Amino acid sequence: MAVDYAALKAGGFMRQKQKDTFSLRLKVVGGTVTADQLAAVQDVANKYGHGYVHLTARQGIEIPFIQLKDIDAVKADLAKGGVVPGVCGPRVRTVTACQGGRCCPSGCIDALDIAEKLDKRYFGRELNHKFKFGVTGCRNNCLKTEENDFGVKGGYDVKWKEDACIGCGVCVKACREGAITQDEDGKIHVDYAKCNNCGRCVKSCPADAWDYTPGFIVTFGGTFGNNMRFGEEAVPFIKDEDTLFRVADATIDFFAENGLPSERFFKTLERVGWDKFKVVVNDAYNGKTKKKGDETDG
């Protein structure tokens, strides 16, 4: 019987150089795996592999040296432990994330929660080439979001509350952008044009003198491989999840409609034009939608 290697690859089984041998990539969302899942992975690696796993650069787990004859048994044993194979090839890959505000004092958003929602919405979708999401909780950028096709970085939209300020100057020292200054009379001055939404002023203030709205800084078109390129911002600071997902939907649809086979997203943007893409995602940002064949904003 002929082996459908393309289907196996789509299901996370990557061919090794050894005959009829595969390295199985598992689905790991936001770098988080339960203890029960780890136990199932351990059992499969011992029973069907060589007794070890490989941790990938994108927070994934791979079990090497799986034999072709054992593939169905491997999937069944993993399923008992709640473990799902990942994907390879031209489709949306597993979303990476740091722990964000769920655990980290620096986190401005719950990065894992956003990763899980992105994964549920897009994981495995067929596209012209692979497409990667990355989510990080703050400007410290542990997940290097600019290396992703669609990178999400947590931040705060801030507003100084003069009536609550005690003039301690802690926020001045915390701000790394020079956006906050203090005059000789002790009054705080904020240059919001210099603010990068890092939220350090909020987190350092002992007097709760800052109003803030958590949100997202999004970058587009990053890649890290044979052609390295940092993603770029194309929309303003996003203040709610509905807007984030509208922008993500528009991005995925733009790539699906304009990309060529085997063309990475940034190549599509360069060929079709960043200006055209920015119109599309800013329409999505502003809540404007267009149906195919309809030239009127909905």
The CATH number covering residue 30 comes to 3.30.70.3340
CA-wise closest residue to 272 among 260, 281, 283:
260
Same domain, 40 and 119: no
What percent of the chain has pLDDT above 90?
Answer: 93
Residues 147 and 278 both lie in one domain:
yes
Statement: residue 293 has pLDDT above 50: no
More confident: 2 or 247: 247
Give Dmax (Cα) for the chain. Answer: 84
Looking at the fold, whether 233 and 145 belong to one and the same domain comes out as yes
Q: Could you give the number of structural domains in the chain?
A: 2
Residue whose structure tokens are 């991005």: 251
HSE, CB side, 13 Å, CA atoms: give it for residue 205.
24
Q: What percent of the chain has pLDDT over 70?
A: 96
Write out the residue range of the structural domain in which residue 126 sits. 96-154+215-285
Specify if 44 maps to a domain. Answer: yes
Integer distance in angstroms from the first to the last C-alpha of the chain?
52
- Beta carbons within 10 angstroms of residue 126's beta carbon: 11
In a domain, 190, yes or no: no
Query: Of 45, 80, 115, which one is at a domain's C-terminal end?
Result: 80
Instruction: State the average pLDDT over residues 189-194.
Output: 97
Do 281 and 220 share a domain, yes or no?
A: yes
Least confident interval from 77-91, 225-239, 280-294? 280-294
Tell whether 106 and 134 lie within a shared domain.
yes
pLDDT at residue 227 in the model: 83
User: Of the residues 49, 80, 111, which one is the last residue of a structural domain?
Assistant: 80
Q: Is the pLDDT of residue 71 over 90?
A: yes
Same domain, 136 and 251: yes
Which tens digit of pLDDT belongs to each residue from 106-139?
999 999 999 999 999 999 999 999 999 999 999 9
- pLDDT, average across residues 223-234: 91
Residue 201 lies in a domain: no
* Residue 297 covered by a domain: no
* Whether residue 142 is found in the same domain as residue 15: no
Q: Is the pLDDT of residue 297 over 70?
A: no
- Does the structure show a pLDDT above 50 at 291? no
Q: What pLDDT does residue 294 have?
A: 44
In a domain, 171, yes or no: no
Q: Say what the pLDDT of residue 290 is.
A: 60
Q: Are residues 21 and 148 in the same domain?
A: no
Q: What local confidence, expressed as pLDDT, does residue 19 receive?
A: 95
Q: Which band of pLDDT confidence, cut at 50, 70 and 90, is reported for residue 226?
A: confident
- Regarding whether 224 and 126 lie in a shared domain, the answer is yes
pTM over 0.75: yes
- With beta carbons less than 8 A apart as the criterion, state whether 229 and 266 touch: yes
CATH of the domain at 139: 3.30.413.10
Do 13 and 108 lie in one domain? The reply is no
Residue at which a domain ends, from 50, 80, 110: 80
Do 110 and 228 have their domain in common?
A: yes
74 and 101 co-located in one domain: no
